[in-house]
Amino acid sequence: MTQSAADIFAAIGQASAPLTLARAADGFLPLLLADLARASDKRLLYVATDDAAMQAIADAAPFFAPDLIVHRFPAWDCLPYDRAGPSMRVSADRLATLSALQAPPKRGELILTTVAAVTQRTLTPFRIRQLATTLAAGQRIDRDALAELLVAGGFNRVDTVADQGEFAVRGGIVDLFPAGEEAGLRVDFFGDEIESIRRFDPADQRSLGPAKALSLLPAAETLLDEATIKRFRSAYRELFGAAATGDPLYQAVSEGRRQAGMDHWLPLFEERLATLFDHIDPATPVLRGHRTDATAETRFEAIRDYHANRVAAEREQAGSYRPLAPEALYLTEDEWRDAEAARPVHVVTPFDVPPSASVIDLETHAARDFTPERTAELNVYDKVADHLADERRKGRRTIIASYSGGARERLAGLLKEHGVAGLSYAETWQEALGLSSPLPLAGGAGGGPVAKPTLETSPPLTPPASGRGTVTLITLPLDHGFASDAISLLTEQDILGERLVRR
């Protein structure tokens, strides 16, 4: 790729119409997004086709940019009009991201989401700011009032906290695991005053040290405080009539109890809702995968089908499930098109596109796939050795990614048995590009201390000429690699196939 990430980001920022980033191989996408996100002080939003594609980027991108801040905004992990609601972990991820977006942007922030997530309504920015609560040592708050706040915010009261969205009360101690936290938090009370806040490991309940303060978010998007309960009751009666007051959902919410699947009636709990686009600055660059439009069409069709099925079931058995109109919780197709038209939404595609002023050619392609050799029952390692020798002759730096350290060790041993010499290990992308010394596989002096890449000193996409023709093994959770003029990144799955890969 001849253009730098800064040049591409500048072109995106200046574009008044959507650009197409062509020949961006799937395996290249985490590196591309990481480099673009750290090329400016603005956030970058990428809309993936589904949760699997989003998670693959979230897993791999930090390897290329260790200082990168990744915000995930997943879709609910339940079907539209389901009887079950989203899991606590998904709700926690969504609310943590919405809360983070209320702060000024930082350099190197990447927001990852999906078509299903951006086409569904959620809480407004004002509501997110309103719901955030800060707790600190020395603060006075009634312990029982805190417990009531947690219940209203969707936390589950348990005996022992083990997962996000749970809390427990033990005498003068309140344990909780809020959204956006990597560990639980133990709030120790002395009367009505918070004496201390400490982090703890939910796995073994051991203390991990003090915490300065606690930023407390709800554990669910549907809240059960006095105002939301009153709003829900009024809206439910208005929509479905007085006969609906005997519905289990209406009864549960009226009593302040959470009902499975109540999240699907979120619009009745809130005065108004927003979308993820309402939480980002209008100047935030937005990129999307090339299949997102088709995915959106399929999504809208599925929502209509699920709604029609619920309406039919309600006709057969009144009160079984009173569905809201699709447009109450989900964007319409017109709203989706308007959201895309409101700002340039740039398309990233692995395919070649004819040159034009709106096309940026990234000049990468999918890595060598050894499926034909596996299908023909040839010795795949001999073919890999031949391929690596060919890459060396072309002067390319070859990097091979394994899912784990053990898998990397095994692959290195097999390659050496098949005549591949001069292999080395690298623990960072900077090392793999030869910008600091990689560790030799066996014998010889170590590479010495390795400088951690930062946003200010990020490695370029093109390695120095002195590193051309080398083969380096890394640990990286990447399904498929990519190749450019200077780099060839192969993955364990490219070589061994999907069925043999162990995550």
The Cα 189–Cα 171 span in angstroms is: 9
| pLDDT value at residue 132 | 86
Could you tell me if residue 170 is inside a domain?
yes
Q: Reply yes or no on whether the pLDDT at 178 is more than 70.
A: yes
The Cα 51–Cα 76 span in angstroms is: 10
Interstrand relation of 133-136 and 109-114 (parallel, antiparallel or unpaired): unpaired
Q: What average pLDDT does this structure show over 338-347?
A: 94
| pLDDT value at residue 134 | 87
Q: Which two tokens stand for residue 69?
A: 């801040």
Q: Reply yes or no on whether the pLDDT at 378 is more than 50.
A: yes
Could you tell me if residue 235 is inside a domain?
no
Identify the band that residue 467 occupies on the pLDDT scale cut at 50, 70 and 90: low
Cβ pair 148, 132 in contact under 8 A: no
Could you tell me if residue 86 is inside a domain?
yes
Here the CATH number for the domain that contains residue 117 is 3.40.50.11180
One domain for residues 377 and 483: yes
Could you tell me if residue 319 is inside a domain?
yes
Q: Other CB atoms closer than 10 Å to residue 347's CB: what's the count?
A: 20
Model confidence over 354-369: pLDDT tens digits?
999 999 999 999 999 8
Could you tell me if residue 94 is inside a domain?
yes
Could you tell me if residue 244 is inside a domain?
no
The Cα 45–Cα 345 span in angstroms is: 10
Of 315, 348, 381, the last residue of a domain is 348
Cβ pair 367, 482 in contact under 8 A: yes
One domain for residues 342 and 378: no
One domain for residues 489 and 444: yes
- The DSSP secondary structure of 95-164, one letter per residue, reads HHHHHHTTSPP-TTEEEEEEHHHHTB-B--HHHHHHH-EEEETT-B--HHHHHHHHHHTTPEE-SS--ST
| H/E element, 447 | none
Could you tell me if residue 15 is inside a domain?
yes
Q: Reply yes or no on whether the pLDDT at 438 is more than 70.
A: no
One domain for residues 87 and 186: no
One domain for residues 401 and 493: yes
Q: What average pLDDT does this structure show over 412-417?
A: 92
Model confidence over 18-29: pLDDT tens digits?
999 999 999 999
One domain for residues 423 and 452: yes
The more confident residue out of 170 and 442 is 170
The more confident residue out of 111 and 4 is 111
Out of 65-69, 411-415, 453-457, least confident range:
453-457
As a residue count, the chain comes to 503
One domain for residues 451 and 472: yes
DSSP class of 194: E
Identify the band that residue 279 occupies on the pLDDT scale cut at 50, 70 and 90: very high
SS3 191: coil
| pLDDT value at residue 389 | 92
Could you tell me if residue 238 is inside a domain?
no
CB-facing half-sphere around the CA of 384: CA atoms within 13 A: 30
Q: Report the domain count for the chain.
A: 3
Interstrand relation of 184-190 and 173-176 (parallel, antiparallel or unpaired): antiparallel
Q: In angstroms, how far apart are the furthest CA atoms of the chain?
A: 82
One domain for residues 305 and 427: no
Here the CATH number for the domain that contains residue 203 is 3.30.2060.10
Of 348, 378, 393, the last residue of a domain is 348
One domain for residues 103 and 138: no
One domain for residues 84 and 113: yes
| pLDDT value at residue 461 | 46
| pLDDT value at residue 500 | 47
Q: Considering only CA atoms, which of 316, 127, 141, 139 is closest in space to residue 231?
A: 127
Out of 17-26, 421-430, 452-461, least confident range:
452-461
| pLDDT value at residue 379 | 85
One domain for residues 67 and 115: yes
| pLDDT value at residue 281 | 92
Model confidence over 231-271: pLDDT tens digits?
999 999 999 999 999 999 999 999 999 999 999 999 999 99
| pLDDT value at residue 459 | 45
Of 348, 381, 398, the last residue of a domain is 348
Identify the band that residue 455 occupies on the pLDDT scale cut at 50, 70 and 90: very low
Model confidence over 286-341: pLDDT tens digits?
999 999 999 999 999 999 999 999 999 988 887 789 999 999 999 999 999 999 99
What's the chain's Rg over C-alpha atoms?
Answer: 26
Question: Domain of 490?
Answer: 367-500
| pLDDT value at residue 468 | 58
One domain for residues 495 and 380: yes
Q: What average pLDDT does this structure show over 483-500?
A: 86
Interstrand relation of 359-361 and 365-366 (parallel, antiparallel or unpaired): unpaired
- The DSSP secondary structure of 290-339, one letter per residue, reads TTHHHHHHHHHHHHHHHHHHHHHHHHHSTTS--PPPHHHHB--HHHHHHH
Q: What average pLDDT does this structure show over 481-491?
A: 93
